[in-house]
Every structure is written in C-alpha cells, then in structure tokens.
A and B are shown apart, each in its own frame.
Chain A
Amino acid sequence: DQQVKQNSPSLSVQEGRISILNCDYTNSMFDYFLWYKKYPAEGPTFLISISSIKDKNEDGRFTVFLNKSAKHLSLHIVPSQPGDSAVYFCTPSTGGGNKLTFGTGTQLKVEL
C-alpha cells in the first residue's frame, strides 16, 4: 500500500521554463512535507518543506504548494536550470520531519 505516489517517473523541460512535479498521499496523519533532491551516487539533500498548516512555501526559484483536502503536493521550479537535473522525492512525515515516507521519485531532466 503506497502512501505516497509520484505518478510521473520522469519529466523533461527546457532550460528557463517551469518544472512542475506532483505528489499525492493517502495518510492524513502527515504533518510536515519535504522535498529532497538526489544526484547519482550521492545522498538525498533537502530542498524545501511545508507545514500542514500552510498551503504555500517559497524559497527562491522553488515553491511548494499543499492542498490538504485533495492530499496533493506540488513543487514548482522556475526558471529551471540544467543543474536542477536530478531525482526529486516527495517526502511527507509525521513527527515534524523525523519519520520520512518517500515517494518513488521523479527524474527531472532540464535540457538546454
């Protein structure tokens, strides 16, 4: 039973355009939602997060939107850059970021 679904295994966008990565979850107990970015042969690195009491959080080129009623999360990257090419994991948690539940990831490729 997958609690976190990232239905797009891959996404390709042109440099300078917007990248939108989507995530759906089923567990209503999740209280903190994080996005991690992962390059090959490295550990995941934290990108941006949002608390369940908010519906939007912005950090530079990255914005996360949360729709609790739909149990849907999205990450917007604008403008996209080649260095953004990586696997992105939607990672809800309980306990404020401790017990993470990872989605299967979306491989983003930003092309010149």
Chain B
Amino acid sequence: NAGVTQTPKFQVLKTGQSMTLQCAQDMNHEYMSWYRQDPGMGLRLIHYSVGAGITDQGEVPNGYNVSRSTTEDFPLRLLSAAPSQTSVYFCASTYKDGPNEQFFGPGTRLTVL
C-alpha cells in the first residue's frame, strides 16, 4: 500500500501560469480532500469529494478547480496562479462513513513568483 501520494513535491510557477497538483490513493477511500497550509496557520480545506463525480467547496476554494473521475485520483488545478497561492498543499483521504481519521499525503510545496 502506497497510501496517499502527491506529485510534484516542489513546484515554482510564475504569476498567471497554470498547473495541476496530482493526488492518488490506493486504499479505496471514497472521501478525498485538499488542504493548504500557510506559515503560522493550521491547514485549511480547499475542496473535497465524497465519491467519483461528486465535488464540493471547502473554506478557501477561490482560484482552484477539482474533478473526481475515478475513486483513486483527485487532482487540484490552479488556472492562473497568484502569489497568494504560495503554500504547502496536502491531499487526504478516508472512508465516507465516519467516524474515521484522514490519511494525508506528504505535501506539495508551491511557490508563485
């Protein structure tokens, strides 16, 4: 079991560029989510999904898109990167029906210049 994997580990973008952060899990979890962590703060929920074809917004969704075409994958898209999106991004997964703990990936450190 690889658990939750994220690629890339590091990325530098210029303002206005687009990119996709990849997230995959091999635990057959229905629920997947994306968080961002900024210095001195806890993680904040960006988007989440309770199953293939179903996504919803979290606390800080602006500037990000997601889709869920398979159970395993949950990519996060930045359509036009801004310096305010410089952060560390974590993907997580768990079973849909709680109570359950979420399993987190190792994170992607993104810098937008």
B contact residues around A64 at 8 Å (CB): none
Is B16 in the interface zone, CB < 8 Å from A? no
* Closest-CB distance, B48 to chain A (whole angstroms): 7
Report Cα–Cα, A100/B36, bound state, in Å.
Answer: 12
A42 neighbours in B (Cβ, 8 Å): 106-107
Residues of A within 8 A of B105 (CB): 43
The interface residues of chain A lying within 8 Å CB-to-CB of B53 are: none
Contacting residues of chain A (76-102) with chain B, CB-CB under 8 angstroms: 89, 91, 93, 95-102
A–B complex contacts, Cβ < 8 Å, 30 sampled: A4-B42, A32-B99, A34-B101, A36-B104, A41-B106, A42-B106, A42-B107, A43-B104, A44-B43, A44-B90, A45-B104, A49-B99, A51-B99, A89-B42, A93-B98, A96-B98, A96-B99, A97-B94, A98-B33, A98-B50, A98-B98, A98-B100, A98-B102, A100-B102, A102-B42, A102-B44, A103-B42, A104-B40, A104-B41, A105-B42
Closest CB pairs A-B (n = 8): A96-B98, A102-B42, A43-B104, A46-B101, A96-B99, A97-B98, A102-B43, A97-B100
Given contacts A97-B99, A102-B43, A104-B42, 16 further A-B contacts (CB under 8 A): A32-B99, A34-B101, A41-B106, A43-B107, A44-B43, A44-B104, A49-B99, A96-B97, A96-B99, A97-B101, A98-B48, A98-B94, A99-B45, A100-B35, A102-B44, A104-B41
